[in-house]
Amino acid sequence: LRGAGAAATATISLPLTAQAAAAASELYSPAPGSLKGTTVMITGANTGLGLESAKRLASAGAKIVVAARSQAKADVAVAEIMAFTNAGSAVGVEVDLANLASVKSLPGRLEAVIGSGGAIDVLLNNAGVMAVPERLLTADGFEKTVGINHLGHFALVAALLPYLERSKSGFRIVNVSSDAHRFVDRKAMVQALETSLDPPDYAAGGWGAYGVSKAANILFTVELERRLLEKGVAGSAVTLHPGVVQTDLGRYIIGGVAAEDLHPTDVPPPTGVGAFLKENVLDRAILTVDKGANTQIYLAAAADTNGDRTKAGGLFYDKMRAVKPTDTSADPELAQRLWRLSEELTGAKIAL
């Protein structure tokens, strides 16, 4: 892991330690103009945390690339971002993380909106689904929670690495994980790896699959950062827990994928363990979307390193400060196993 750098001066005029302590009650926004010349691509930027992040990063001068499941959804989000601020700019592009053909063909569509030879400075992998109460599959036959939350984003990084490497001042990849990674012990993660991330028992209303996907986000970050360092690439990868956020949470969403896309004719409420967790844990600890977006905005702006996107990689953040994930989710051997399996399952190779 890289050593964390000093905090950048933020809109909230507090030192980093005070910002971290106040993260649940204050809003973090990068200073106006601080992200001018920075291109930030956000998956699931058409709703929830992704849309809130897009608005505040654009307000600091960033150019936002809204990556949504359909062009229509992306276009609506672009209009909303531009109505919110004229400090930055926004464009939209279609990518379906539940369809590897869509992910792998993204570069052709991306060049149409950022230009040939265009660069991405920050990739915020925000989109995902949560606790889907029945076992559903992606277009490629993967369990949908793991398929979207991890495998789709793995293939996306493979497709976008050339654009990231064009960044003149170094790039950063921000992977949105969750404290739900703590549901997964080493035995469960090994079982997931041994069953191609498709454990046969789809139990507890999808929470098991969600926990595996969030542990995978951290393990992916760990191995990605190791490879960036080994190759001497000017970039970093970080991951985070946004908190329990009042977005479409009760409808199995944490960003970017509408519940009706998963259940075209019916959107049932959580049942069993999922209902108990929602009513007794989640609903009592919920943050509003604007507060829940703090940490990923903070990391996308590289406020932890005075704007240097190449430093402080491999870390897991909560409330805008680095914290320790589980030993399982930080295990380098499991991280390498996950990387190899992800390459095999997706057919995507990240050139590192």
Residues noted as catalytic: 210
> If phi over 0 gives left and psi between -120 and 50 gives alpha, with beta otherwise, what is residue 216?
alpha
Neighbours of 257 (CB within 10 A): 29
In the chain, what is the straight-line distance between the N-terminal and C-terminal CA atoms, in Å?
A: 17
Sequence-ordered list of residues with C-beta below 8 angstroms from that of 51, at least 6 positions apart, any chain: 45, 77, 80, 81
CA proximity to 103, closest of 38, 52, 148: 148
Say how far apart CA 329 and CA 184 lie, in whole Å: 8
Report the C-alpha gap between 214 and 199 in whole angstroms.
Answer: 15
Q: How many helices (H) and strands (E) does the chain have?
A: 14, 10
Question: Do 99 and 120 meet the contact criterion of CB atoms below 8 Å apart?
Answer: no
User: How does DSSP classify residue 166?
Assistant: T
Distance CA 204, CA 273 (A): 6
Phi, psi dihedrals of residue 12, rounded to the nearest 5°: -75, 115
Helix, strand, coil tally for the chain in percent (to 5): 45, 15, 40
Q: What angle do CA 113, 118, 120 make, to 5 degrees?
A: 95
Would you list the DSSP string of 72-120? HHHHHHHHHHHHH-SSSEEEEEE--TT-HHHHHTHHHHHHHHH-TT---
